[in-house]
Amino acid sequence: MSSPSPQPKPPRRSLLETYFRLAPVTVPLYAILVACLAGSLFILGAGANPLVAYGALLDGALGSPDRIASTVARSTPFIIGALAVALGFKAGLFNIGAEGQLLLGALTAAWVGTWSWLAGTPPLLAVPFVLVAGVVGGMVWGFIPGVLKARTGAHEVITTIMLNAIALGIASFLITSRDPALLIDDRASTPHTREVAASVRLPTLVEGTGLHLGIVLALALCAATWFVLQRTTPGFEIRTVGVSREAARYAGMRVDRTVIVVMTASGALAGIAGAAEVIGSGSGYLTPGAFTNIGFDSIAIALLARGNPLAVVPAALLWGALLSGAPLMQVEADLSVNLVRIVQALIILFVAADAIIRLLFRIRAPRGVDVGEPAVFARGWGG
């Protein structure tokens, strides 16, 4: 009864249908709008003018070519990190562990990047080598929860949270330990790792803004992930496992293996995010507490992008823009940068609870047209 009787007419797309196809885009857009409006209540409460504040935010993020470059630089690790989380979503896995995987990738890259023989190697070989090292670091941290899930049914949310804590401990030990001195640069006054060789550094794109070649890598990875998911047989298996484990089993797909592969690949991507930051950003070394929250923010961005590997790019750019515009807002409107955090949280709140937005703006759920299967954000515990 609920099924509309299909008419045998050619599939010409009506204006209305086009509108509904856009619903996956309109919901996040409206969510951003509502979040900004709600955020202005906080700004008013803090005694500032929302227009001035948002104006300064915009100016700080996009006010000049250099500022735009800084925003993009800021967004780069978010793009790759969110892509890692989004890939997990596609297989119905909620990888909370991007934070730890990213850190492990950064650590291995920071360590391998100091190997002396790399200093004399041409960058064309040295850079990929260090990136692969980062991949390996992240992979290990993704493979563990994958195997635990597939073999024992341990829920990835629990295991990845725990692995985050372990990764943090490992990183802090490796970076700060002086006796034995492991990765620490013992000539430095504040603890940080030794600087990686010049030959493994990613080329800077815009001087003085921190924008490095990592952005190109990030965009390429998004496109590649989209292609793998949509156009290849492993991608077909990943998506099927994500929307219906039962159907995947029926169709002869190896569900357990897919879970392991996706968690490992997700960890690998997060590892690249960390590695690219180490060898791309200014310092070339790791400090304790570096990259804090990039992995967690990546989860939020992946949610905003609704698990779509291409939508991750604009979502991460928005995220980066809010963060890189915040300091100017703080100066001009005399507001805490934490306000940006509030707006970010509101955006995710409205995206996750999209029923609110659909109700406010009367957006109907798309019906009957192929807009791509919905991302499964999380399954029941132990599912």
Partner 1 sequence: MPVLRVRGLTKRFPGVTANSDVDLTLHRGEILCLLGENGAGKSTLMNIVFGLYQPDEGQIEVQGHPVAFSSSADAIASGIGMVHQHFQLIPVMTVAENVVLGKESRRGPFLDIDKARAEVRELSRRYGLDVDPDAIVGDLSVGAQQRVELVKALYRDADILILDEPTAVLTPQEVVEFFDVVRSLVESGKSVIFITHKLREVLAVADTVVIMRAGKVVAAMPASGATEQSLATSMVGREVGFEVTKGLAAPGQVVLAVRDLQVADDRGHTTVRGLELEVRSGEILGIAGVEGNGQRELVEALAGMRTPLAGSVEILGHDTTGWSPRRVEMLGVGHVPEDRAKHGLVGTYPITDNLVLNRYHRRQFSRRFLLDRAAMTRNANDLIQRFDVRTPSPHVLAGTLSGGNQQKIVMARELSGDLRLLLVAQPTRGLDVGSIEFIHRQVVERRDAGVAVLLVSAELDEILSLADRVGVLYRGTLAAVMDRADATREKIGLLMAGGGEVA
Query: Which CB, 173 or 250, lies closer to partner 1?
Result: 250
Q: Let me know if 239 is exposed, middle or buried by CB neighbors in 10 A (0-12, 13-18, 19+).
A: buried
Task: Write each residue from 310 to 349 as x if it is in contact with partner 1 (CB under 8 A), else as -, in one continuous string.
Answer: ----------------------------------------
Buried-state track 7-33, b at ≥16 Cβ within 10 A, e below 16:
eeeeeeeeeeeeebeebbeebbebbbe
Q: How far is the CB of 195 from partner 1 (least distance, A)?
A: 40
Select from 4, 47, 120, 383 the one that contacts partner 1 (CB under 8 A).
4
Question: Is position 14 an interface residue for partner 1 (rule: CB under 8 A)?
Answer: no
> How far, in Å, CA of 228 to CA of 268, rounded?
15
**Where is 212: in which H helix or E strand?**
strand 211-212
Q: How far is the CB of 372 from partner 1 (least distance, A)?
A: 8
Question: Is position 251 an interface residue for partner 1 (rule: CB under 8 A)?
Answer: yes
Q: How far is the CB of 365 from partner 1 (least distance, A)?
A: 11
Question: Is position 370 an interface residue for partner 1 (rule: CB under 8 A)?
Answer: yes
Select from 121, 172, 244, 287 the one that contacts partner 1 (CB under 8 A).
244
User: What is the total count of residues that contact partner 1 (CB under 8 A)?
Assistant: 34
Closest CA to 97 of 160, 156, 148, 150: 160
Question: Is position 232 an interface residue for partner 1 (rule: CB under 8 A)?
Answer: yes
Question: Is position 231 an interface residue for partner 1 (rule: CB under 8 A)?
Answer: yes
- Taking CB under 8 A as the binding criterion, the range among 59-67, 70-78, 212-220, 226-234 that sits at the site for partner 1 is 226-234
Query: Which CB, 232 or 292, lies closer to partner 1?
Result: 232
CA–CA–CA angle 198, 201, 203 (5° rounding): 115
Question: Is position 116 an interface residue for partner 1 (rule: CB under 8 A)?
Answer: no
Query: Which CB, 66 or 373, lies closer to partner 1?
Result: 373
Question: Is position 7 an interface residue for partner 1 (rule: CB under 8 A)?
Answer: yes
Question: Is position 362 an interface residue for partner 1 (rule: CB under 8 A)?
Answer: no
Query: Which CB, 211 or 229, lies closer to partner 1?
Result: 229
Question: Is position 240 an interface residue for partner 1 (rule: CB under 8 A)?
Answer: yes
Question: Is position 234 an interface residue for partner 1 (rule: CB under 8 A)?
Answer: yes
Yes or no: say if 127 and 200 are a contact pair by the CB < 8 Å rule: yes
* φ, ψ at 372 (rounded to 5°): 85, 145
**Where is 52: in which H helix or E strand?**
helix 50-62
Contacts 24+ apart (CB under 8 A), 53-59: 53/329, 53/332, 53/333, 53/335, 53/339, 54/329, 55/332, 56/325, 56/328, 56/329, 56/331, 56/332, 56/333, 57/322, 57/325, 57/326, 57/328, 57/329, 57/340, 58/325, 59/325, 59/328, 59/332
Chain residues binding partner 1 by CB under 8 A are: 1-11, 231-236, 240, 243-244, 246-247, 249-254, 367-370, 373-374
